[in-house]
Amino acid sequence: MGRKDDDGDRALYEDSYDEAVDDLLDYHRNACERLSRKWSDPTGKAHAVACPKCRKDAWVRKYGVKRTIMTRFGEVSVLRNYHVCRCGHGFYPRDIEMGFDDDNLSRDVLKQVLDFVVTDTFEASRERLDLHHGIRLSATKLKHVFERKSKPFADCERPCPVVKLPIGTKRAHSPIMIQVDGSMIRHTDGWHETKLMSIQAMGATDRVYLAESLDKDRFEAQLRESPGFATLKKREVFWIADGAPWIWKMKERLCPNAFALLDFYHVLEHGEEAAKQAYGEGSDKASCFMNALTHRLIWKGKEAVFDLVKEHTPHRPRKKVDKHRAESFGKLLAYLESNRERLNYRYFLERGWPIGSGAIESAHKSVLQKRMKLAGMKWSKKNAQRMATLRALRSSVGPTKFTDAILKSIRKAA
């Protein structure tokens, strides 16, 4: 008996829910029809419209040409009149007035689409957009939206960043920390490095990220062109990066007064590599060397570090093993020598500043790798740059302001 009641309740549940869904679908259908009427050109004879090219009168060539816009209520058919001018220019005045999106998405759908495609693969985005929002778009279409919305500003030679550097009046006395590091991303023709820069006031949570995988000059220009860059000269800045020489040349041009530091963990990595080559991985001698290196880097200063490496370098090596050791430590010494002015760890520690780019390394995971380094993923050169640009933008402004920032970037690049 109880079972029968259960079935009855369940049927009631199903029926009432279906009814509610039907109401909602009716509502959506009405919304689409209403939008269709409001967005379409009024029927009846149309007047001439000034040609956007030559300002002369352009008359209707075709009435009611259909365009479909995807909205959160479903697809909306818009009928527009096609005008042609005597100068030869053809156009839809309605499209210009209404500012329809090139990908035929309403603004709220565009926001959802962009949020999905930069956080998940195109195929997963397709499934999830349907599941969460009932929006049915193919994976190819999603990829096209991503490409079309990032291309204008990610591809252009002169970068046009729109995000203001977080160095305004807030925390006016905190030093500004700039960190640069690279991340390997797989392209169709092998692995390539994408550089990521983060700019933030010490202790503040808001950061601006700039990413670049194509060329160094463009990376430099991204910071130079960022709104608020001029303020950087008036502030105390410290700059932490790995040992790539071009990064330091760039730092000299952009922020000559900034305190420079070679990322502590990169030094340790180089030290470990030399010790491993010379003494064998995990050997007592290798770990002994690493302990001494760490200690001297922090407490004794660079001269003591150079002395240590020299002590481990065999002089006039004749035996093969000694030659090998001399070579390993020789490489380390050259690396340290070329970064001689950037080894003042104690100075940084005494000021309470970080000595390693640990923060940017985790940023690499959250900003780039989470979307760009998934299993089996390969990027074309252009799409790698586009996705890195979008991910950096989103991490800088947050998901709610992301689409507006993209549209602003497109306008600025035009």
- The residue ranges that bind Zn ion (CB under 5 A) are 51, 53-54, 85, 87, 89
Q: Which long-range contacts (CB under 8 A, 24 or more apart) does 129-137 make?
A: 133/72, 133/109, 135/70, 135/72, 135/109, 137/70, 137/113
Instruction: With H, G, I as helix, E, B as strand and everything else as coil, classify residue 261.
Output: strand
Q: How far is the CB of 98 from Zn ion (least distance, A)?
A: 21
Q: How far is the CB of 88 from Zn ion (least distance, A)?
A: 7
Q: How far is the CB of 48 from Zn ion (least distance, A)?
A: 11
Q: Pick the closer one to Zn ion by CB: 8 or 52.
A: 52
Tokens standing for residue 234: 């008036």
CA dist., res. 403 & res. 113, Å (int): 10
CA dist., res. 268 & res. 356, Å (int): 10
β-strand partners of 67? 78
Sheet holding 259-262, edge to edge: 208-212, 190-201, 176-187, 237-241, 259-262
What is the DSSP secondary structure assignment for residue 341, as one 8-state letter? G
- Whether the Cβ atoms of residue 345 and residue 261 lie closer than 8 Å to each other: yes
CA dist., res. 139 & res. 71, Å (int): 18
Torsion angle of the four alpha carbons 144, 146, 149, 155, in this order, in degrees rounded to the nearest 10: -100
Q: How far is the CB of 155 from Zn ion (least distance, A)?
A: 30
Q: How far is the CB of 85 from Zn ion (least distance, A)?
A: 3
Amino acid at 124: A
Q: How far is the CB of 250 from Zn ion (least distance, A)?
A: 47
CA dist., res. 373 & res. 378, Å (int): 8
For the chain, count helices (H), then strands (E): 16, 9
CA dist., res. 397 & res. 170, Å (int): 17
Q: Pick the closer one to Zn ion by CB: 89 or 408.
A: 89
Q: Pick the closer one to Zn ion by CB: 89 or 144.
A: 89
Q: Which long-range contacts (CB under 8 A, 24 or more apart) does 303-308 make?
A: 305/336, 305/343, 306/333, 306/336, 306/337
Q: How far is the CB of 59 from Zn ion (least distance, A)?
A: 11
Q: How far is the CB of 49 from Zn ion (least distance, A)?
A: 10
Q: Pick the closer one to Zn ion by CB: 52 or 64.
A: 52
CA dist., res. 210 & res. 222, Å (int): 7
Q: Pick the closer one to Zn ion by CB: 91 or 265.
A: 91
Q: Pick the closer one to Zn ion by CB: 89 or 346.
A: 89
Q: Pick the closer one to Zn ion by CB: 20 or 50.
A: 50
Q: How far is the CB of 194 from Zn ion (least distance, A)?
A: 45
Q: How far is the CB of 56 from Zn ion (least distance, A)?
A: 5
Q: Pick the closer one to Zn ion by CB: 57 or 215.
A: 57
Instruction: With H, G, I as helix, E, B as strand and everything else as coil, classify residue 353.
Output: coil
Q: Pick the closer one to Zn ion by CB: 87 or 172.
A: 87
Q: Pick the closer one to Zn ion by CB: 95 or 115.
A: 95
CA 292, chain centre distance (Å): 39
